[in-house]
């Protein structure tokens, strides 16, 4: 019997919705929902690459993450108004970029750039994992549209796991996230290999057994997400 507020089993994802082509302009776009978390992922393609990569014959994929001011519980200030991007934003943008680049064959992409934008419309925990999971689908659609589906060497999905009251749980909403003693974000390929593992002791440090349990739970969650991505792209 579940003890989670939303009635889920400890190893169960929230309801996931993946809506493709939510926007008209970018080559690929996805509105992804992890429960009440809602992220708009766009993949814009353009010819050419950044200066440091010109003439290499290789493409480039980069990502930017941001939250709309009214996406959070209490409104947060706009980073454009503050005139500087915060550390958390930087960190997540970099994580998304690295995660997607793990399944890109730059040579097959050719000297093209795909710019990923992940804008959080509503936040309820797990925005970065939803962003990665949705961005992959947008990226795949963009590669298809560009005529280079082979530039993708695999798929990626991401999920959060954490220990609440001593119990490992999958895909934490905000109310669980703030209570988690330990919090981990895991990015995996569709083939079941790890791309990123980021675990943080929010409360007490964690031992190796807890770490192992969290990793196993994440493996299960990413596998589920991979199936949902496949279904959405069918």
Contact between 52 and a second copy by CB under 8 A: the answer reads no
End-to-end, the C-alpha distance of the chain in Å comes to 34
**Residue among 2, 3, 21, 46 that touches a second copy (CB under 8 A):** 46
94 is in an annotated binding site: no
Smallest Cα–Cα separation from 197: which of 150, 159, 224, 142? 159
**Residue among 54, 88, 107, 227 that touches a second copy (CB under 8 A):** 88
Q: Segment near a second copy (CB under 8 A), from 1-9, 52-60, 83-91, 143-151?
A: 83-91
Angle of helix 208-233 versus helix 127-146 axis, rounded to 10:
40
Looking up tokens 């010109």 gives 54
Please, which residues have CB within 8 angstroms of residue 156's CB and are 6 or more apart in sequence?
99, 100, 102, 103, 132, 133, 136, 187, 188, 189, 190, 195
Contact between 208 and a second copy by CB under 8 A: the answer reads yes
> Do the beta carbons of residue 174 and residue 181 sit within 8 Å?
no
Contact between 51 and a second copy by CB under 8 A: the answer reads no
Contact between 151 and a second copy by CB under 8 A: the answer reads no
φ, ψ for residue 134, nearest 5 deg: -75, -40
88 is in an annotated binding site: yes
127 is in an annotated binding site: yes
Contact between 48 and a second copy by CB under 8 A: the answer reads no
Contact between 7 and a second copy by CB under 8 A: the answer reads no
Q: Segment near a second copy (CB under 8 A), from 47-55, 125-133, 198-206, 220-228?
A: 198-206
101 is in an annotated binding site: no
Between 55 and 83, name the residue whose CB sits nearer to a second copy.
Answer: 83
CB of 1 to a second copy, least distance (A): 27
Stretch 102-131: interaction string toward a second copy, x if CB under 8 A: x------------x-x-x-xx-x-------
Q: Is 40 exposed, middle or buried (0-12, 13-18, 19+ CB in 10 A)?
A: buried
Smallest Cα–Cα separation from 37: which of 122, 158, 160? 122
CA 101 from centre of chain: 13
For a second copy, the binding residues (CB under 8 A) are 23-26, 29, 36, 40, 42, 44, 46, 64, 66, 68-75, 78-91, 93-94, 98, 102, 115, 117, 119, 121-122, 124, 184, 188-189, 191-201, 204-208, 211, 215, 219
């Amino acid at each position: 019997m579940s003890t989670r507020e939303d009635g889920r089993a400890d190893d169960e994802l929230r309801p996931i919705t993946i809506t493709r082509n939510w926007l008209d302009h970018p080559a690929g776009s996805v509105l992804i929902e992890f429960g009440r978390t809602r992220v708009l992922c766009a993949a814009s393609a353009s010819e050419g690459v950044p200066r440091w990569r010109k003439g290499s014959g290789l493409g480039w994929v980069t990502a930017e993450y941001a939250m709309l001011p009214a996406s959070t519980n209490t409104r947060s200030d706009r980073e454009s108004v503050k005139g500087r991007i915060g550390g958390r934003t930087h960190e997540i943008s970099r994580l998304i970029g690295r995660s997607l680049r793990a399944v890109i064959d730059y040579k097959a992409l050719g000297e093209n750039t795909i710019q990923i934008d992940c804008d959080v419309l509503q936040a309820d925990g797990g925005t970065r994992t939803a962003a990665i999971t949705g961005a992959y689908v947008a990226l795949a659609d963009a590669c298809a549209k560009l005529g280079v589906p082979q530039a993708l060497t695999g798929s990626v999905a991401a999920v959060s796991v954490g220990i609440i009251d001593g119990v490992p749980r999958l895909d934490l909403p905000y109310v669980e996230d703030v209570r988690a003693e330990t919090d981990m974000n895991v990015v995996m390929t569709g083939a079941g290999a790890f791309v990123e593992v980021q675990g943080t002791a929010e409360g007490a440090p964690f031992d190796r057994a807890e770490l192992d349990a969290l990793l196993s739970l994440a493996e299960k969650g990413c596998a589920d997400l991979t199936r949902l991505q496949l279904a959405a792209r069918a």
